């Protein structure tokens, strides 16, 4: 990955995207995940960071392999939060 591509993967950028997804209500799973995590005791900032990790996997796959964003897999990763075993793969 070159430096220009790497700049798209900053934590701040990913968090901003997640925040925008929440504000826009799309994908719906993002707002649902935030509500679920906060309601079960995860601090909001921590929940957003975990969700940004799930997003990072998809962004990385798009950039590295030139494939389409996989919203289904993104949703599956969001469903497993706060467990992040998929980060080890």
Q: How many domains does the chain have?
A: 1
20: in domain: yes
Distance CA 44, CA 24 (A): 17
36: in domain: yes
Distance CA 84, CA 78 (A): 9
Residue by residue, pLDDT tens for the chain (89 residues) are 444 455 567 899 999 999 999 999 999 999 999 999 999 999 999 999 999 999 999 998 898 999 899 999 999 999 999 998 877 76
Supply the pLDDT for residue 8: 60
Contact (Cβ atoms closer than 8 angstroms) between residue 73 and residue 58: yes
Q: What is the dihedral of CA 72, 13, 61, 76, to 10 degrees?
A: -20
Supply the pLDDT for residue 7: 58
Supply the pLDDT for residue 88: 72
80: in domain: yes
2: in domain: no
1: in domain: no
Farthest CA pair distance, the chain? 39
Q: Which domain holds residue 24?
A: 11-87
């Amino acid at each position: 990955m070159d430096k220009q591509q790497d700049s798209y993967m900053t934590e701040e950028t990913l968090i901003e995207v997640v925040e925008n997804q929440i504000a826009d209500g799309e994908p719906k799973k993002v707002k649902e995940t935030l509500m679920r995590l906060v309601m079960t005791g995860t601090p909001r900032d921590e929940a957003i960071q975990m969700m940004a990790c799930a997003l990072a996997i998809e962004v990385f796959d798009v950039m590295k392999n030139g494939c389409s964003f996989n919203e289904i897999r993104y949703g599956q990763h969001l469903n497993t939060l706060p467990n992040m075993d998929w980060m080890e793969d």
